[in-house]
DNA sequence: GCCGTTTTCGGCCCGACTGTTTTCAGTCG
């Protein structure tokens, strides 16, 4: 059962509680929703966590829900869930997927019109709305009837449910909008926040905060955005629009002197904010996007505004928390005790080791677009100390091992020539080598011996059992020259989930044998994912941040890999390519 | 039902916006 399916069931339980007695089950509803959020947002498969007895490490899943999940995954049903859902027509649940429908509205309409069939309930409601029957109900009207019709039609078109954007695309979209907003003279500052600022690997909505003394003017400028499809809502301080492609953009405004609290609020994450606000409450403070409210002895409350985010956290006696950490994974406690780790920064990176040039090595996979010289020259521009050339190995179906050897040797000679005429940068002779389905490398020992090291990776036969795949990878990493496992999960964001690996075993092997895992910066890879980076860091596994560049411009993607490292709480000393040339070279030989 | 830098009991974030309403319910972030 997938994470999404499990989360959906938990949301149905929450909705059922809400339908039965919202007041009575208020906290159960929150608990089930929070558990659903946690499961949906986890990159790790719940089914696997369950098998490994690690469900308890999932925040928001306590003893009760954990026991229910165990029943769900072993028996396929849960007595307690059946009890909660008893009496709620099954036709309520499909409606919950349609925006603007919550448990109350869905239940009300299902009951009012005796709609029993979950398969047809959405079109049944659409028909009723078209017949004007919904507007006649008490509490409904023409406008809500129209809203329902639009929501259903947009739901059918997939608007709002479109796949989440990869980071660079989201940056581009946000930049375009910020540029447009800044054309208004009333905009003092405009900053993209939300998951984009936290550098999540994918971004759903684009959130933008504006500092202004004229919120009304800014909002009317915002909703006149030329690429707008429609206005979702428009108020005194905030507004939301839908742009082409079905993407939502949310805007919040705040006076410049209170902008710090808006930055904090709108950056999130939701769970970070909830935890922070609960902590503040225990100190007698109430937090919101407007500032910090303090109750005085007379019972009145005063509001303190803060212009910067640093001051916001400072007023709570906490260290400022980097946005990448704001996921409620322990950062608040550490900020209170001023013990947050110092995260790795892009300027710490001394070299990029996963570089594909256009050298005619006749590779098994795609060749780079630019020459070795061009890639090296770009590395110099980026102020790197070293670069690793790591084209794919020569195709094994087209060449025998002797031919493979001479292709690699020719590339090495080419590198040597460039080395002799190049100053201020060192070059490693690497290669990205396929781990074949039997675990052997696609290049033999003799060819490996003329390399400084090898990056190994999986590019075929993805559908393998977890056990077999783990053995395959470990076998591939066993050669002394194989030092780095590239894009370890094989995932492609929005395209495929990747293969299954037992990371406990991989970590163990890497630690004992001085191997490193790659954090691949390619926007649709971002692999390792942040949650696994966090695990790796906890286990003291060495990591390398690479771009996997196939062209000069792609070497700028390093920032995304570093962002993932930071989201995984990696410090400078967790990342091997922050080492100077000599130290890195030493490690390669280990 | 979850959770712990005042707590293993007793709390539980805070607000915007819309539609249908003369004061609020529902949904959303």
Which string of DSSP letters, residue by residue, matches A506-556? HHHHHHHHT-EEEEE--TTT-BS-HHHHHHHHHTT--EEEE--BSSGGGGG
Domain boundaries A165-254, CATH class: alpha beta
Name the closest nucleotide to A137, judged by C1' and CA. B20
CATH number of A265-336: 3.30.210.10
Specify the pLDDT at position A370.
98
Burial group, residue A218, by CB count within 10 angstroms (0-12, 13-18, 19+): buried
Residue A67 CA, distance from chain mean position: 28
Nucleotide nearest to A67 (CA to C1'): B1
Q: Which nucleotide is nearest to A69 (CA to C1')?
A: B1
**Max CA distance (Å), chain A:** 88
Q: Where are the domains of chain A?
A: 3-156, 165-254, 265-336, 346-589
Quickly count: other Cβ atoms within 10 Å of residue A499's Cβ. Answer: 21
Please state the pTM of the whole predicted model: 0.94
- A217-CA/B16-C1' distance, Å: 18
Cβ of A248 near strand B (distance < 7 A)? yes
A305 in contact with nucleic chain B (CB within 7 A)? no
Q: What is the DSSP string of A211-241?
A: E-S-HHHHHHHHTT-TTEEEEEEE-SSEEEE
Contact present, A435 and A461 (Cβ < 8 Å): no
Angle in degrees, 0-180, between the axes of helices A167-182 and A215-222, rounded to the nearest 10: 120
Rounded distance in angstroms from the CA atom of residue A318 to the C1' atom of nucleotide B23: 40
Q: What is the pLDDT of residue A56?
A: 81
Query: Which residues on neighbouring strands pair with residue A417, listed in sequence order?
Result: none
Q: Quick one: DSSP state of residue A387? A: E
Among residues of chain A, what percentage have pLDDT more than 90? Answer: 89
Distance CA A53, CA A416 (A): 52
Separation between the CA of A463 and the C1’ of B23 (whole angstroms): 60
Predicted confidence at residue A299, as pLDDT, reads: 63
Residue nearest to nucleotide B18 (CA to C1'): A233
CB proximity A290–strand B (7 Å threshold)? yes
A145 touches strand B (CB under 7 A): yes
* C1' of B21 to CA of A576 (Å): 63
Task: Please tell me the distance from the alpha carbon of residue A32 to that of residue A14, in angstroms, as a whole number.
Answer: 6
Q: Whose CA is closest to A167, among A575, A566, A570, A571?
A: A566
Q: Which of these, A215, A176, A210, A213, lies nearest to A193 by C-alpha position? A: A210
Tokens 């970590």 locate to A507
| CA distance linking residue A450 with residue A544, whole number of Å | 22
Strand B reaches within 7 A of the A336 CB? yes
Two tokens at A16?
């059922």
Residue range A3-156 in CATH 1.10.150.110: yes
Task: Estimate in Å the CA A59 to C1' B3 gap, whole number.
Answer: 10
Nucleotide nearest to A333 (CA to C1'): B5
A274 touches strand B (CB under 7 A): yes
Is the minimum distance from the CB of A207 to strand B below 7 Å?
yes
Q: What is the DSSP string of A566-581?
A: HHTT-BGGGBGGGS-H
Under a CB-based contact definition with an 8 Å cutoff, are residues A311 and A260 in contact? Answer: yes
Instruction: Decide if A434 contacts A441 (C-beta within 8 A).
Output: yes
Decide: CB of A143 under 7 A of nucleic strand B.
yes
Q: What is the DSSP letter of A97?
A: T
Answer for A473: CB within 7 Å of strand B.
no
Instruction: Identify nearest nucleotide to residue A234 by CA to C1′ distance.
Output: B17
Q: Which residues of chain A have pLDDT under 70?
A: 161-162, 296-299
Q: Which nucleotides of B are covered by protein (CB under 7 A)?
A: 1-3, 5-7, 11-21, 25-29
Alpha helices in A421-458 (DSSP H): 445-448
| Protein residue at shortest CA distance from C1' of B20 | A139
Residue whose pair of structure tokens reads 């990448």 in the numeric block: A324
A322 CB contact with strand B at below 7 Å: no
Contacts of A497 (CB under 8 A, 6+ apart): A491
Angstrom distance (rounded) from CA A397 to CA A404: 11
Q: Residue A393 gets which letter from DSSP?
A: P
Q: In angstroms, what CA-CA distances link A364 with A49, A252, A435, A458, A483?
A: 35, 50, 12, 12, 20
Q: What is the CATH number of domain A346-589?
A: 3.20.20.140
The pLDDT assigned to A296 comes to 66
């Amino acid at each position: 059962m997938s994470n999404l399916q499990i989360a959906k069931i938990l949301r149905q339980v929450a909705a059922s509680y809400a339908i039965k007695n919202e007041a009575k089950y208020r906290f159960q509803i929150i608990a089930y929703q929070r558990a659903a959020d946690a499961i949906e947002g986890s990159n790790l498969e719940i089914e696997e966590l369950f098998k490994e007895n690690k469900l308890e490490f999932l925040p928001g899943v306590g003893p009760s829900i954990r026991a229910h999940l165990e029943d769900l995954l072993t028996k396929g049903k849960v007595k307690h869930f059946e009890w909660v859902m008893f009496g709620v027509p099954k036709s309520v649940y499909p409606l919950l997927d349609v925006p603007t429908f919550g448990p109350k509205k869905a239940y009300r309409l299902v009951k009012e019109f005796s709609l029993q069939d979950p398969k047809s309930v959405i079109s049944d409601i659409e028909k009723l709305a078209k017949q004007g029957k919904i507007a006649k109900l008490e509490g409904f009207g023409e406008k809500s009837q129209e809203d329902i019709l639009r929501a259903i039609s947009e739901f059918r078109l997939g608007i709002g449910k479109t796949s989440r954007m990869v980071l660079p695309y989201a940056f581009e979209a946000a930049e375009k909008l910020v540029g447009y907003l800044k054309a208004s003279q009333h905009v003092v500052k405009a900053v993209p926040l939300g998951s984009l600022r936290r550098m999540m690997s994918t971004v759903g909505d684009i959130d933008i905060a504006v500092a202004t003394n004229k919120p009304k003017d800014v909002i009317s400028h915002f909703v006149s955005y030329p690429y707008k499809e429609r206005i979702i809502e428009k108020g005194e301080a905030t507004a939301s629009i839908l742009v082409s492609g079905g993407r939502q953009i949310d805007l919040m405004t705040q006076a410049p002197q209170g902008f710090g609290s808006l930055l904090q609020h709108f950056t999130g994450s939701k769970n970070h904010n909830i935890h922070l606000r609960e902590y503040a409450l225990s100190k007698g403070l109430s937090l919101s996007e407007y500032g910090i409210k303090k109750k005085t002895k007379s019972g009145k409350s005063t509001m303190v505004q803060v212009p910067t985010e640093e001051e916001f956290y400072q007023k709570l006696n906490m260290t400022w928390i980097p946005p990448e950490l704001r996921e409620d994974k322990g950062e608040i406690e550490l900020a209170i005790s001023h013990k947050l780790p110092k995260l790795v920064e892009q300027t710490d990176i001394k070299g990029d080791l996963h570089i594909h040039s256009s050298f005619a090595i006749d590779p098994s996979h795609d060749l780079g677009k630019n020459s070795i010289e061009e890639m090296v020259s770009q590395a110099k521009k980026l102020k790197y100390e070293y670069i690793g050339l790591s084209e794919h190995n020569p195709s094994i179906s087209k060449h025998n091992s002797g031919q493979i050897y001479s292709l690699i040797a020719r590339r090495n000679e080419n590198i040597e020539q460039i080395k002799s005429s190049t100053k201020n940068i060192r070059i490693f002779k690497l290669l990205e080598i396929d781990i074949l389905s039997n675990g052997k490398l696609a290049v033999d020992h003799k060819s490996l011996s003329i390399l400084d090291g090898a990056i190994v990776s999986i590019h075929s036969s993805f559908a393998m059992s977890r056990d077999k795949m783990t053995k395959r990878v470990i076998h591939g990493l066993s050669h002394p020259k194989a030092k780095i496992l590239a894009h370890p999960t094989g995932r492609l964001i929005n395209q495929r989930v990747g293969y299954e690996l037992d990371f406990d075993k991989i970590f163990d092997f890497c630690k004992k044998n001085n191997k490193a895992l790659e954090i691949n910066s390619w926007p649709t890879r971002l692999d390792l994912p942040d949650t696994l980076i966090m695990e790796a860091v906890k286990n003291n596994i060495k990591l390398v941040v690479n771009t996997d560049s196939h062209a000069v411009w792609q070497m700028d993607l390093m920032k995304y890999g570093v962002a993932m490292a930071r989201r995984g709480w990696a410090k400078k000393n967790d990342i091997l390519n922050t080492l100077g040339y000599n130290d890195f070279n030493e490690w390669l030989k280990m």
